[in-house]
């Protein structure tokens, strides 16, 4: 029996490690606003971006960081949010958190919707350019997880990447679509000055590869167990 259990435990560990890696890879940049920090039309005067977990399980983002087009891990660490649940969208606002309440009141009024989550990022030299830039997200090991680029921004409208297109360090995914009221949950902020959907897009659906890999792994485990029993 021990001869059966050992390979099964090994395969299970491999599957768990692989599924965790896939879950990290399914975190995407789904919305961002690069014009807010330098424009008096934004009361909170800080750039922000949204991360969405398209995977089937929660992703631990402890130690994750971001950078712009210099693409260096560890420049600006993500703080205030430790994990992203499956299908959840969370916001990261530039700064140390002093503008979070203003961000919430600007978009939602007296209080944020149930489940709304906001964190922060800050680092030397970090600042998204209104003329075009990149957002690059790195995990705790410094591996690139999500990457987008964009051109000139439009005051009062966020960039909409609800589809979760993603690029590489060599070729970041270029996002040009602007948020439009009624599309992908976009609305006009309570302040009346901004259009977007911070923290809320159409529910993220786990990618088919996640389920396919898990089912294939279970099939392998079952086949090995049956073969071992026949040989016993």
Q: List beta partners, residue 154.
A: 157
Instruction: In whole angstroms, give the CA distance from residue 122 to residue 57.
Output: 27
Instruction: In whole angstroms, give the CA distance from residue 130 to residue 36.
Output: 9
Task: List strand residue ranges (DSSP E) for 87-132, in order.
Answer: 89-94, 118-122
Residues 6+ apart with CB under 8 A from 27: 51, 52, 53, 54, 55, 59, 61, 84, 137, 145, 146
Long-range (24+ apart) CB contacts under 8 A made by 221-229 are 221/8, 221/11, 221/12, 224/4, 224/7, 224/8, 224/11, 225/4, 225/8, 228/3, 228/4, 229/4
DSSP 127: -
For each of the chain's 232 residues, which pLDDT tens digit applies? Answer: 555 555 545 444 434 444 444 445 699 999 999 998 877 678 999 999 999 999 999 999 999 999 999 999 999 999 999 999 999 999 999 999 999 999 999 999 999 999 999 999 998 888 899 999 999 999 999 999 999 999 999 999 999 999 999 999 999 999 999 999 999 999 999 999 999 999 986 444 444 444 444 444 445 445 445 555 555 5
Pair of tokens at residue 2: 């021990």
Pair of tokens at residue 94: 């530039």
Q: Are 53 and 88 spatial neighbours (Cβ–Cβ below 8 Å)?
A: yes
pTM of the model: 0.79
């Amino acid at each position: 029996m021990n001869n059966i259990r050992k390979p099964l435990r090994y395969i299970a560990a491999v599957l768990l490690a692989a599924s965790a890696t896939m879950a990290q890879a399914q975190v995407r940049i789904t919305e961002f606003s690069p014009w807010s920090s330098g424009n008096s039309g934004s009361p909170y005067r800080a750039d922000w971006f949204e991360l969405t977990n398209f995977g089937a399980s929660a992703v631990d983002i402890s130690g994750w960081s971001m950078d712009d087009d210099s693409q260096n891990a560890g420049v600006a660490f993500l703080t205030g949010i430790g994990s992203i649940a499956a299908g959840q969208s969370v916001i990261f606002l530039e700064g140390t958190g002093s503008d979070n309440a203003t961000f919430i009141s600007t978009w939602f009024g007296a209080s944020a919707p149930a489940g709304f989550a906001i964190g922060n990022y800050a680092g030397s030299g970090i600042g998204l350019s209104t003329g075009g830039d990149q957002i690059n997200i790195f995990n705790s090991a410094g591996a690139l997880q999500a990457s987008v680029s964009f051109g000139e921004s439009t005051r009062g409208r966020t960039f909409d990447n609800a589809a979760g297109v993603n690029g590489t360090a060599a070729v970041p995914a270029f996002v040009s679509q602007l948020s439009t009221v009624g599309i992908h949950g976009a609305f006009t902020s309570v302040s009346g000055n901004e259009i977007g959907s911070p923290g809320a897009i159409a529910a993220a659906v786990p990618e088919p590869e996640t389920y396919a890999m898990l089912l294939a792994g279970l099939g392998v485990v079952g086949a090995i167990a049956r073969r071992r029993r026949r040989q016993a």
